[in-house]
Amino acid sequence: MAIFKSAKPESLASGANLITLLRLVTSLIFFCLAAIYHLELYNYLGLGIHWLGDWLDGFWARTFQQRTIIGAEIDIIADRIESLFFFINFIFFHPGLALPVTLYIMNFAFVDFYLSYQFIKFDIISIDFFYLVDQKVYRLNFSQSGKFINSTVIPLLLILLPGWWPVTLILTAGLMGVKLYSIFLLRKKESLARQAK
């Protein structure tokens, strides 16, 4: 079947991309149901689909050699859309956590989005290959531990330990600092590359 076949980096269609689109649509349905019916369970179901689908599309792309540029792009965008929908609902259910949630959204949806999308400038297929560009940036942001800290630790703290929100706020500010530092390193690398030409 075509969904199991390897795909060239410039390909548009792949099984991994289909999974990304399916998890986007399905999670958004649950986020909308949470908003319509004011049931937080739907919001958490949407988040679960987001996390499971995000793991599955990456696993699928690696296993069946379906890493594509468009796949990396839609994965980055889908992650932000799903997180935004979840946290907009989350603030409605937990208005006292608006401050740490807002800072996390600013970091993930804007600063981290900008950083993640830089892969397109360095002639690599996705953020998984950032180690070819800069080892430090890769370890801090795009290694398995970097990804986990970036997209999972803060949401889990907000969900499971809401009373610790000052700690979460500080950690999020630190995370944003790491992202800004990583952007600085990449801009410096770009500048040096231009000067060498």
Q: Is 38 left (phi over 0), alpha (psi -120 to 50) or beta?
A: left
Tens of pLDDT, residue by residue over 69-95, are 999 999 999 999 999 999 999 999 999
What is the pLDDT at residue 196?
A: 74
Q: How many helices (H) and strands (E) does the chain have?
A: 9, 0
Domain count, the chain: 2
Write out the residue range of the structural domain in which residue 176 sits.
Answer: 96-197
pTM for the full predicted model: 0.91
pLDDT of 15 above 80: yes
Last residue of a domain, one of 58, 93, 128: 93
Tens of pLDDT, residue by residue over 34-45, are 999 999 999 999
Residues 138-156, mean pLDDT to the nearest whole number: 93
Q: Are residues 70 and 109 in the same domain?
A: no
Closest listed residue to residue 125, CA positions, set 15, 10, 16, 21: 10
Give the span between the Cα atoms of 196 and 148, in whole angstroms. Answer: 36
Average pLDDT, the chain: 93
Q: Are residues 89 and 104 in the same domain?
A: no
pLDDT of 9 above 80: no
Tens of pLDDT, residue by residue over 47-72, are 999 999 999 999 999 999 999 999 99
Q: Are residues 80 and 142 in the same domain?
A: no
